[in-house]
Chains A and B, each alone.
Chain A
Amino acid sequence: DGGITQSPKYLFRKEGQNVTLSCEQNLNHDAMYWYRQDPGQGLRLIYYSQIVNDFQKGDIAEGYSVSREKKESFPLTVTSAQKNPTAFYLCASSPAGGSPLHFGNGTRLTVT
């Protein structure tokens, strides 16, 4: 079955450490996205990529980095520069403009 796989489901890190969240899709979608979800707030866009080897910052890119070396993969690194990294992170993909986003099941990151 086609879909988006995020791993791990839960991630725990100490403050000051970088951590990378995995996102893989087999939907053959060109565009991929990373969102952050916090209680009481709408999904906020971190980064997005519409084509391999190209990506753009979203509304809250500071303290995050991404790469898009393959169409299927869009990993997100949460760096030690991110001041409040504890959150639920969602990866999504979309085939084209005007089409809905398809989401993975998220990674809950806890930094202490």
Chain B
Amino acid sequence: EDQVTQSPEALRLQEGESSSLNCSYTVSGLRGLFWYRQDPGKGPEFLFTLYSAGEEKEKERLKATLTKKESFLHITAPKPEDSATYLCAVQAYQFYFGTGTSLTVIP
């Protein structure tokens, strides 16, 4: 069965405390893996696309990596404005979404 699992469900970090979010997936025929940021009451905002194992993408304090079974979103020296829910999605025949990791960065 195609599915996407994100962990942890929630993460609290002190400002400056680096960490990683995990997205593991089991799909046949991966066409792309996508990371999104979602703020309360808003739609998901696209962050990164990864297509093949070994690929990495970076944007400010965020870096996304991909292996054959999982992806990591690394957050380096986070700031309070990084607080949000981070969603992972994979596209095979259709899009499959994880339930997200709720990140809180404490000043």
Footprint of B on A, CB under 8 Å?
Answer: 4, 6, 33, 35, 40-43, 45, 48, 58, 90, 92, 97-106, 108
**Which residues of the other chain, B, contact A35 by a CB distance below 8 angstroms?**
97
Given contacts A97-B91, A101-B46, A106-B43, 17 further A-B contacts (CB under 8 A): A4-B43, A42-B4, A42-B87, A42-B97, A42-B100, A45-B94, A58-B94, A98-B91, A101-B95, A103-B36, A103-B45, A104-B43, A105-B41, A105-B42, A105-B43, A106-B42, A108-B41
Answer whether residue B44 sits at the interface, using C-beta atoms and an 8 A cutoff.
Answer: yes
- A-B CB proximity, top 5 nearest: A103-B43, A42-B97, A43-B97, A98-B31, A105-B43
**Which residues of the other chain, A, contact B98 by a CB distance below 8 angstroms?**
42
**Which residues of the other chain, B, contact A48 by a CB distance below 8 angstroms?**
94
Query: Number of B residues contacting the other chain (C-beta, 8 Å)?
Result: 23
Footprint of A on B, CB under 8 Å?
Answer: 4, 31-32, 34, 36, 41-46, 49, 51, 87, 89, 91, 94-100
**Which residues of the other chain, A, contact B87 by a CB distance below 8 angstroms?**
42-43
- Shortest Cβ distance from A111 into chain B, in angstroms? 18
A58 to B97: give the CA distance in the assembly, Å: 14
The reply to whether B99 and A100 contact each other, CB–CB distance below 8 Å, is no
**Which residues of the other chain, A, contact B34 by a CB distance below 8 angstroms?**
100-101
Given A42-B4, A42-B98, A102-B46: A97 touches B41 (CB 8 Å cut-off): no
- Shortest Cβ distance from B18 into chain A, in angstroms? 25
